[in-house]
Chain A
């Protein structure tokens, strides 16, 4: 199974400041078709998860452009350029390159 490791566990951020979350996979996420199936999800308190980013850097419909994804191979990053109050929650990376689908442990973004 591919192990996904996220850091940090928690990220206290001042409103308007940037935040960055790292996700590392135990093996390359490059699929045999050439694509890398790494996505990022946001889970606000009391809510179901919501897709933010897919295939490393593609923003899903309706996702603000302050969210961006980058990376390649085994190292990936989610960045929030200017944190807003509505961004509070837990962020997960997920790989869909191979079954079983696996998640990082989550990073809690909170306001300082």
Chain B
């Protein structure tokens, strides 16, 4: 069974940093791209970042709203993906979802991690 578990969320002050982790199981982690999405309270879904598998170069794509502040990485030996979030803003407050990429879609989603940016 495919499982994705996000951790590392919490309350952080504006301008500070936070790192989310996504621990995966139930599939060969290194073979698949991954993507993070977020959902602000009461709002719709927003794509954040995408990382390809190492076989496809491990390259990344970022939403304009987070480019230069967020960094995605992956440790295939541990089946963990990381989302390093720097210079956080109040508008980054959201539930962050880690997803497995199934080819042209996110086929499995984690339960999400709440990040609250507030002073």
Contacts and interface: CB of A to CB of B under 8 A. Distances in A.
Interface string A95-112: 010011111111000000
A66 B35 CA distance: 28
B105 A49 contact: no
A101 B109 contact: no
Contacts of A41: 45
Given A54-B105, A60-B107, A106-B44, A49 B97 contact: yes
Nearest to B63: A100
30 contacts: A37-B104, A37-B105, A39-B104, A41-B45, A43-B45, A48-B97, A48-B110, A48-B111, A49-B45, A49-B109, A50-B109, A51-B105, A51-B107, A54-B103, A54-B104, A54-B105, A54-B107, A90-B44, A92-B44, A94-B45, A96-B104, A96-B105, A99-B61, A100-B47, A100-B61, A101-B47, A103-B44, A103-B47, A104-B44, A105-B44
Q: How large is the interface on B (under 10, 10 to 19, 20 to 34, 35 or more residues)?
A: 20 to 34
Nearest to B112: A48
Nearest to A55: B104
Contacts of A104: 44
Contacts, number: 57
A1 to B, nearest CB: 8
